[in-house]
Amino acid sequence: MPSKPNLGKTRSPAAPAATPVPDPESADRLDRWDLALLRELQADARLSNAELAERIGLSAAPTWRRVRRLEERGYITGYRAVIDRRRVGLGVLAFVRVDAERNNAQATRELEDRIRSLPEVVACHYISGAGTFELHVVATDLEAYSRWAMETLFKLPNVKDMQTSFSLGEVKADAAWPLGHLGRL
């Protein structure tokens, strides 16, 4: 009977001799190769599998399997291009605190659904403190934002009040999540 290759014991040349590569199917927890993959893909999701494998120190086949597993288990939820909003004419970024009537769960769900359907809302969070939601809204200019707020946002069901603050400039707008708390890379 031919023996199966033991992928769980494969070592990269960069890995210490005493550090086995865990079988990617063995557990849902992340190991150092998973963390390295997440770090590299956040920096550049266009890397080929071969480039990705080289950067993290594994061969191509286990790298591909690990990326697939990270996708299947929901660690990686998608890939997209990061577009400079100003270059595509979206010069205004507004932070809108919406206070909703909290009279029943159905009304809140209806408001959530309507917010999700608005392309101008690029992020929405439940928040603590004053207000119910914090929306990140983009518009071409202040006039367009004002028109959108009056014609769309104020007309949503269950909206009681709103307060808007405008971004005067971005200090940091990096989409990469910090992963240091998950282990050393």
Grade residue 185 by pLDDT with cuts at 50, 70 and 90. very low
CA distances 81 to 73, 100, 120, Å, are 22, 33, 18
Element (H, E) at 37: helix 32-43
Summarised one tens digit per residue, pLDDT across range 84-125 is 999 999 999 999 999 988 767 888 888 999 999 999 999 999
Give this prediction's pTM.
0.74
135: its two tokens: 């929306």
The domain 23-79 having CATH identifier 1.10.10.10: the answer here is yes
Domain with CATH 3.30.70.920 in the chain: 92-166
Measured over all CA atoms, what is the biggest interatomic distance in the chain, rounded to whole angstroms? 75
The domain 92-166 having CATH identifier 3.30.70.920: the answer here is yes
> What's the average model confidence in pLDDT over 138-157?
96
Domain with CATH 1.10.10.10 in the chain: 23-79
* Residue 184: predicted pLDDT: 56
> What's the average model confidence in pLDDT over 51-56?
97
Percent of all residues in the chain with a pLDDT value above 90, rounded to a whole number: 63
Percent of all residues in the chain with a pLDDT value above 70, rounded to a whole number: 84
Summarised one tens digit per residue, pLDDT across range 12-47 is 334 434 444 445 454 578 999 999 999 999 999 999
- Residue 89, classed as helix, strand or coil, is coil
State how far the Cα of 132 lies from the Cα of 96, in Å rounded to an integer. Answer: 11
Q: Is the pLDDT of residue 80 over 60?
A: yes
11 with 18: CB under 8 angstroms?
no
